[in-house]
Chains A and B, each alone.
Chain A
Amino acid sequence: MENRKAYWRANLRLVFACLLVWFTCSYGFGILLVDQLNSIRMGGFKLGFWFAQQGSIYIFVALIFFYAWRMNKIDRQFDVDEG
């Protein structure tokens, strides 16, 4: 039972961290801070615009793979993986 609780806590911690990145790169950089970031240029892009139309998507993809990898590791750590 203790082990189960610890597993769930580890999961929630990871979920929370991922969610923070998810929120920051899309709602943060792509929407709320877009005007401020647009004064910075990256190549031919204004940075805020780039985050809204490109950057956030790349980060989402990386984030899911990171989560899957970490979570599978946590499964093994707590011995609840599917063999």
Chain B
Amino acid sequence: MDLKTLTYLVVGASFVLYIGIAIWSRAKSTGDFYVAGKGVSPLANGMATAADWMSAASFISMAGLIAFLGYDGSVYLMGWTGGYVLLALFLAPYLRKFGKFTVPEFIAERYYSKTARVVAVICLIFVSFTYVAGQMRGVGIVFSRFLEVEVTVGLMIGMGIVFIYAVLGGMKGITYTQVAQYCVLIFAYTVPAIFIAIQITGNAIPQLAFGSEITNEGVGLLDKLDDIVTSLGFTQFTSGDKSKIDVFCITLALMVGTAGLPHVIVRFFTVPKVRDARMSAGYALLFIALLYTTAPAVGAMARYNLMNTIQSGEVGTTDGNLVYEERPEWMKTWENTGLVVFDDKNGDGRVQYYNDANPDFQATANSYGWEGNELSVDRDIMVLANPEIASLPNWVIALVAAGGIAAALSTAAGLLLVISAAISHDIIKGILAPAISEKNELRAGRIAAAVAILIAGYLGFDPPGWVAQVVAFAFGLAAASLFPVILMGIFYKRMNKEGAIAGMVTGLLFTYGYIEFFKGLFLKWAGAPWGENVAENWLFGISPEGIGVIGMLLNFAVALAVSRVTAPPPEHVQQLVEDIRVPRAM
């Protein structure tokens, strides 16, 4: 069976599974729709959280980023796992004890203010739409390559599927679909990794193969990789280019952002008890770690395979490079998508792939007769192309396509749900029409989800960067806006509404402004980005990806300062804080 038919079959089967689950577990009440009736077991919630949160960025983009960034890619690995420690220690158990439906709802009651609720909704919508734009690009890439349809058509299909199960099933449908999606995506991720690990090192466990010797070469994979890339003018794989302060800040922004993401936090509202919320965070990270410890191995092996294919012989010898006409099949198929581009600058019919941006390597390259780097490879394709590069069977390739789609859809659905809940529960029920019936609120939630899907699809056409990068901005925004006020809401009884509102607004505006200024996020039509995105222009040398940390500090500082000079929160709010701090009343 050819690859295309097989891919349609595997992806189609996964869609049938998701829709089947959605119909079986469709939401019957607002409790079902927002928090799955609070009846999800900690293990199932851990799995659902893992799928909810491991997005197209984790599945498709991350290993590719690591392949090209090497050590610098660690920011994503540590940043997107360490946040769960913060979540477990600082937020999940307490928010579960609070026991309502949404994050803005907590902020509204804790800060006894409708204004705070509206500001929280705005933050949430900002964060979630930024994030969802990244997912939609992921869906588009997968569809355009594997189903050979236009990116636009691919987007529409993805939107349609999410529409069916998010609108119908609400949180309950999403939860059990996500459990299935986790299984699909982790299987799809690890199977090719294991195959490739065996091929390169003979060790079947990717986490160990990562540090093993290459078969028949007697030299370690990482050492060999360091050798090849430096001989082509790149930075050593095991060390990085980014400054320490930038690595530090990006990691911290991603960690704190993870803990501040509404669609992740809300997952801990779905378990029955406080105890379950704590355990569930552990399970979630365990399931996430399965992919996250595999990813750097996949990245290193992909880079090795790519280098080996192109630099087939000694660096600098005339026949050391791949002859373009003899290029492998995978290169041809990816050239069709425009994500791999070859330009024979020195006209020798061979592919030279090296770092032509490195001035110290210029002379060496000239002496080889090279006239510039001739191959550009989009980072987002590494995981998807990996099975082809390693010549794995077609069913593995089909599986990876299904896995990539599962990762993108599960996250998109979770995001769309928190957006719709913020509209129907926080804005409509909480502020505009408190007397709305449950039936109408449920209907409003479904309509809001549908509208959100359309906007998400629109954003997916033209996102401002690679999948993982776009998503990184969402974390910065969450770190700077929501996390500090939730944290202070639980751990600092004296924090009041004036402080919280001022803090959120400051953090959000500062971080969003900085990102928009250097990268352009939503204001492309107005000419954004307005500043050249280079290290010399950055504040304290911190890139837009890491600036959420400064936004967070500003949020804390402004909130603390403002709360000092305004009235303390009323008695019943202080009592609320006391209550959420203990699992059961004393």
Q: Give me the interface of A with B, judged by CB distance under 8 Å.
A: 3-4, 7-8, 11, 15, 18-19, 22, 26-27, 30-32, 34-35, 38, 42-46, 49-50, 52-54, 56-58, 60-61, 63-65, 67-68, 71-72, 75, 78-83
Contacts and interface: CB of A to CB of B under 8 A. Distances in A.
Contact of A82 (B210, B247, B273): B273
A82 B82 contact: no
A57 B293 contact: yes
Contact of A81 (B86, B93, B583): B583
A64 to B, nearest CB: 4
B432 interface: no
Contact of A60 (B71, B82, B296, B584): B82
B518 interface: no
Nearest to A71: B278
A82 B212 contact: no
B584 A52 contact: no
A83 B584 CA distance: 9
Given A54-B293, A82-B275, A32 B244 contact: yes
Contacts of B581: 4, 8, 11
A43 to B, nearest CB: 5
B77 A44 contact: no
A54 B210 contact: yes
Interface in B571-586: 578, 581-586
B224 to A, nearest CB: 10
Given A57-B78, A82-B584, A67 B278 contact: yes
Interface of B: 66, 71, 73-74, 77-78, 81-82, 84-86, 88-90, 93, 207, 210-213, 220-223, 238-239, 244, 247-248, 251-252, 273-275, 278-279, 281-282, 285-286, 289, 292-293, 296, 578, 581-586
Contact of B85 (A3, A44, A63, A79): A63
A7 B251 contact: no
A50 B211 contact: yes
Give the dominant DSSP class at B's interface: helix
B583 A53 contact: no
Contacts of A81: 275, 583-584
B208 to A, nearest CB: 8
B274 A82 contact: yes
B220 to A, nearest CB: 4
Nearest to A3: B586
B285 A60 contact: yes
B84 A64 contact: yes
30 contacts: A15-B90, A18-B85, A19-B85, A38-B238, A43-B211, A43-B212, A44-B212, A44-B223, A45-B211, A45-B222, A46-B238, A49-B74, A53-B73, A53-B77, A53-B210, A54-B210, A57-B78, A58-B289, A58-B293, A60-B285, A61-B285, A64-B85, A64-B88, A64-B282, A65-B279, A65-B282, A68-B282, A71-B93, A81-B275, A82-B274
Contacts of A3: 586
A29 B234 CA distance: 24
Given A38-B239, A80-B582, A54 B278 contact: no
